[in-house]
Structure 1
Amino acid sequence: MNIRRYRLALERTYTDRLTVQRIEKVKVNGETKQRLVTVYEQQPCRISQKTLGTNGQTESVNRIAYETKLFAAPELEIKQGDTLTVTRGQLTRTYTAGEPFLYESHQEISIQRKTEA
């Protein structure tokens, strides 16, 4: 298999945009604090629905949880627990990254979105 050609073919499907943030220790006025730091912005990617959403209706809230998979370039260092903001067209959603699975041509990451409706 020609990995370069395979990667180029995959990257043609990357019509979504990805911003990656993670909590890191930073020095502020000589004091070490934990802050949400942007690691990557507007990187090409593709999300794909992995499982259908579940509806957890209670008397006070309707919880919606479903899982999707993210495809991105293997050079991006995405860590489990990172906050991923993905934009598709006019729709922007925030997810939490699972553990990445790396291939030579791309990486696949299980991402979870939990929200209340």
Structure 2
Amino acid sequence: MLKGIEKARKQAGKAIESLYDCTCNISGGKEKIKDSITKETKLVTKIKYKDIPCRVSKQSLSKNNQTDTVNQVAYELKLFIAPELEIKQGDIIEVTNILGVKTKYKAGEGFSYYTHQEVILSKEDKA
């Protein structure tokens, strides 16, 4: 019976992955890098994962908070991605869609299932 359940999980995971239409790079934390020319050591943002297949879905519609001087647009999105990746709240996720357009988001709280992981993304832009 366990083999049947595991087979079903793998099939469900493949079905979800077949919907992935973007890739992403995930950065978080800091690492020390020594410049080979200046020999100076700097703290830079650590790239955790590169070119990972994923999908982004709108969690809620834009809220228009227009004032006399600025039109504030805020909305949340949900990232669908492989469950084995470690994504922490506050990580920066740069998503590239099928048209090659890159957009940066901040990771919120995530939740892992056997087949995939869902992570809330947030972005605030001024329109």
Q: TM-score, normalised by structure 1?
A: 0.89
- Could you list the per-position Cα deviations for residues 29-64 of structure 1 after superposition, in whole angstroms to 9, with x for gaps in the alignment? 575x54212111111000110100111212222211
Distance 2:86 2:43 in 1: 19
Indicate which of 39, 59, 80 corresponds to 2:68. Answer: 59
Output aligned runs, 1:37-48, within 5 Å: 37-48=46-57
**Higher mean displacement: 67-76 or 52-61:** 52-61
Matched, 1:36 2:45: yes
Count the aligned residue pairs.
Answer: 116
Matched, 1:78 2:87: yes
> Aligned AA for 1:93?
T
Task: Tell me, yes or no, if the aligned pair for 2:27 and 2:49 is still in contact at 8 Å.
Answer: yes
1:4–1:51 CA distance, 2 compared to 1 (3 A): same
Matched, 1:112 2:118: no
Q: Which runs of structure 1 show a deviation greater than 6 angstroms over 4 or more consecutive aligned residues?
A: none
Unaligned 5+ runs, structure 2? none
* 1:10 CA drift (Å): 0.3
Q: TM-score, normalised by structure 2?
A: 0.83
Distance 1:14 1:79 in 2: 21
- Could you list the per-position Cα deviations for residues 67-109 of structure 1 after superposition, in whole angstroms to 9, with x for gaps in the alignment? 0100000121111100001111222211100122011111000
What do you get for the CA RMSD once the two structures are aligned? 1.6
Task: Tell me, yes or no, if the aligned pair for 1:23 and 1:34 is still in contact at 8 Å.
Answer: no
Matched, 1:102 2:102: no
Structure holding more strand per residue:
1
Distance 1:64 1:112 in 2: 11
> Aligned AA for 2:32?
V
Task: Tell me, yes or no, if the aligned pair for 2:62 and 2:73 is still in contact at 8 Å.
Answer: yes
